[in-house]
Amino acid sequence: MTELPARRLLLVHAHPDDESINNGVTMARYAAEGVHVTLVTCTLGERGEVIPPELAHLGGAALGQHRHRELREAMRALGVHDFRLLGGAGRFSDSGMMGLPDNDDPGCFWQADVDQAAGLLLEVIREVRPQVLVTYDDNGGYGHPDHIQTHRVAMRAVGLAEEAGCPVAKVYWNRVPRSVAEQAFDRLREDLPRLPFEKAATVDDVPGVVDDQRITAAVEGTGPAAAAKAAAMRAHATQITVHEPYFALSNELAQPLFTTEYYELVRGRPSDIRESDLFAGIGATP
């Protein structure tokens, strides 16, 4: 096996596009620095709503295949070469939004056995041996069943990795500080008349917004990393419309495109100051 770089980062996400929206700057920055960045995506988002009219015919497996191609383009934009689907393509399907009959599909991720799915992620952890893992909080950021299940699986896999002797030194949850979100939406409301979007979302529509004091790390986007994030988000054209520095999902509500990405450390040794490097305080592990 080829020797891996000294620093290794694992991100665990629910659907294609989540990684670019939440962590595009972080992934691009670390990939450019030579960190081994691994993305595990748990479903192909087969039940996502499609934005472009010319692609509106896509659904189910066909949409999943298309979104997989979008994911490959997004990873090319971010410079990330190691990206995988949990258990392989088609192992778990999109669960749809919370409360829909789709949640009862026995093949959907929401119905997956957490320990079994975590065992599949443990295989990746054993192979890559990441020092840092990034995922969602226990509400999945905004309550989507696949995001909640991703949190459960990722955190269970971290526990299994500890038991197996390949511990993950630091675990971060995706966050946005409330003050930053509020300031960004103030700017958005001023800019909205000049944008191709008719309405704006609200702070409550942004996943993972918390009080500022809970933020323990901020990864600021340089020019190249910020541009890479926007390009990666554009690659997910079925799900995202980008008009920098804003974007919209299928609800057509404009929201800020954050080029500084924020995190809350939930496992690992905390720092006395807000970190600018997710690897701060840890050395390389074999």
pLDDT tens digits for 243-265?
999 999 999 999 999 999 999 99
Across all residues in the chain, what is the average pLDDT?
A: 96
Give the separation between CA 66 and CA 147, rounded to whole angstroms. 21
Give the separation between CA 152 and CA 169, rounded to whole angstroms. 18
Please give the sequence-ordered ranges of beta strands (E in DSSP) within 67-116, or none if there are none. Answer: 82-85
Residue 85: the pLDDT is: 98
Which positions ≥6 away from 261 have C-beta within 8 Å?
Answer: 22, 23, 24, 25, 26, 174, 218, 219, 221
Hey, what amino acid is at 212? Answer: D
Residue 286: the pLDDT is: 46
* Residues 57-86: tens digit of each pLDDT: 999 999 999 999 999 999 999 999 999 999
Residue 283: the pLDDT is: 65
- Which of these, 57, 47, 38, lies nearest to 15 by C-alpha position? 47
- pLDDT: which is higher, 286 or 12: 12
Number of neighbouring beta carbons within 10 Å of residue 2: 3
- Which of these, 136, 129, 170, 131, lies nearest to 154 by C-alpha position? 136
33 is written with which tokens? 């620095």
- Under the banding of pLDDT at 50, 70 and 90, the label for residue 3 is confident
- pLDDT: which is higher, 192 or 4: 192
> 105: annotated binding-site residue?
no
Give the separation between CA 103 and CA 86, rounded to whole angstroms. 18
Mean pLDDT, rounded, for 179-192:
98
Give the separation between CA 41 and CA 36, rounded to whole angstroms. 16
The percent of residues above 70 in pLDDT, for the chain, comes to 98
Give, for 37, the enclosing helix (H) or strand (E).
strand 36-41
> 144: annotated binding-site residue?
no
> 18: annotated binding-site residue?
yes
Mean pLDDT, rounded, for 268-272:
90
Q: How many CA atoms lie within 13 A of 100 on its CB side?
A: 14
42 is written with which tokens? 């748990």
